[in-house]
Every structure is written in structure tokens, then in C-alpha cells.
Amino acid sequence: NAGVMQNPRHLVRRRGQEARLRCSPVKGHSHVYWYRQLPEEGLKFMVYLQKENIIDESGMPKERFSAEFPKEGPSILRIQQVVRGDSAAYFCASSPPTGGPNEKLFFGSGTQLSVL
Amino acid sequence: AQSVAQPEDQVNVAEGNPLTVKCTYSVSGNPYLFWYVQYPNRGLQFLLKYITGDNLVKGSYGFEAEFNKSQTSFHLKKPSALVSDSALYFCAVRSPITGKLIFGQGTTLQVKP
């Protein structure tokens, strides 16, 4: 079984462009989480999604950021009009359909976003 | 509110010595506690979890963690450190109500030969 796949591995954007980060969860997993990691900081929760539903987006900035997890296809984290402060590593994680709090999360290798 | 604190930015130990990486938490309801490890340029790898039962939990690579309800702590331990254990360690707590997993700020473990 493939693990959580994130692409691209590295993404370079100029200020004002859009960034799209993709995450394919472990096969059969229906829960996806996105986290952001800044240098010298820990992992900050951004959003928790189930298929076609946003469960908790309390960590998402109010503007420019959006996330989706459609019925078919990968989860997408979208950042519009990127600014230098968006430069970070973005990690996706997935968990099984039971979604219980005792389930561990499986993490992807992350997408490193660099904004020039 | 749900939160996790790792009071040490870095822990340095000599190879062969015991190690402890500290973690305290705050969450409504019974806590679901986790430790993850991150190697450079990699995603997080699961080490162990506490859900219920014995306060001492054993995990991967010889690591264990002790749950202490009265002190709201979940310290990570290993009896004998290896140089290859050097990495960034994250404690996390998952809300039994919302399912959201919150991480501490991470502790860098440096094991010297």
C-alpha cells in the first residue's frame, strides 16, 4: 500500500501567484488533515476534512487559503495571491474511515513552498 | 482549550545514556496522546500512543512514554539513547470530541557519541 503522497515536493511561486498543493491519502482513508510547519516552529493545524466536508478549519487563515477533499481525487490546499510569509513546509496526513480519536495519522513527506 | 507544551527546545544526551523528552497537555475529556518523530526533510513518523490502560506505553525503536494524569504529562523516554535517535520529536493530543490533533512545538534531540 502506498502511503500518503504529496506533490509537488517543492513548489516555487512568485508573490501574487496561486499555489496548489495536492495530497493523496492512504488508500481507503477518508480523513485528511493539513498542517503547516515554519522554520523553528512546530506543526500548526490548519484544516481537517472528510470526503466532501470540512470538519474543522479553525487553523486556516481567513483569506486566501482554502481546502477541499472531493469525492474523487486528491485533497487540495489552495493558496491564492501568495506572499513571502506563506513560505513553509505543508504536511498532509490521513486516517482511516473510522476516524476515531485513537487512530494514528499517517503523514506525507510534505510540500516545501517557497515564495520569491 | 486543547494544547500541548514541550518545554525544551533541545535535549542533549550522550549515547548510551537514558533520555527524557517532556510533554504536558490540556484537553477536555480523556486525552488521546501521541508521539511522532521527524527526520530531516521527511514527514512525521508515528512512535506510540496512549488511549487507555497502562500508564507506561511502549512504542517503536525502543521508546516508551509515561502517562501521568495528575500532572497532565506524557514524557517520552528511552533507557539507552542511540546517535540515530537524533531527530525532532513532537508530542500531540487529539480531542476525543472533535478529533483534531494538535502538536507541541517540538523538541530537538541530539545524541552525541
Q: What is the pLDDT of residues A47-58, one digit of tens each?
A: 999 988 998 999
Q: What is the pLDDT of residues B15-74, one digit of tens each?
A: 999 999 999 999 888 889 999 999 887 788 999 999 888 899 999 999 999 999 999 999
Interface check for A4 against chain B (CB to CB < 8 A): the answer is yes
Using alpha carbons only, give the angle A86, A87, A89 rounded to the nearest 5 degrees. Answer: 110
Residue A36's contacts (CB-CB under 8 Å, 6 or more residues apart) are A43, A44, A46, A88, A89, A90, A91
* Cα gap B95→A99, rounded to integer Å: 12
Closest approach of A60 to chain B, Cα-based (Å):
13
Across chain A, mean pLDDT equals 91
Q: Which of B13 and B94 is assigned the larger pLDDT?
A: B13
Question: Is residue A91 packed enough to be buried (19+ CB in 10 Å), middle (13-18) or exposed (0-12)?
Answer: buried
Which residues sit opposite B34 in a β-bridge?
B49, B92
At A99, the pLDDT band (50, 70, 90 cuts) reads low
B61 three-class SS: helix
* Cα gap B94→A8, rounded to integer Å: 28
> Do A78 and A65 contact (CB within 8 A), yes or no?
yes
B10 grid coordinates: 533541545
- Mean pLDDT score, A99-110: 81
DSSP B104: -
pLDDT of residue A109 exceeding 80: yes
At A101, the pLDDT band (50, 70, 90 cuts) reads low
Q: Residue B43: enclosing H or E segment and its boundaries?
A: none
| pLDDT for res B94 | 86
A80 three-class SS: coil
pLDDT of residue B98 exceeding 80: no
- The reply to whether residue A104 touches residue B49, judged by beta carbons under 8 angstroms, is yes
At A16, the pLDDT band (50, 70, 90 cuts) reads very high
Interface check for A93 against chain B (CB to CB < 8 A): the answer is yes
Chain B 25-64, CB below 8 Å of chain A: which residues? 32, 34, 36, 41-46, 49, 51
* Cα gap A108→A115, rounded to integer Å: 21
pLDDT of residue B1 exceeding 80: no
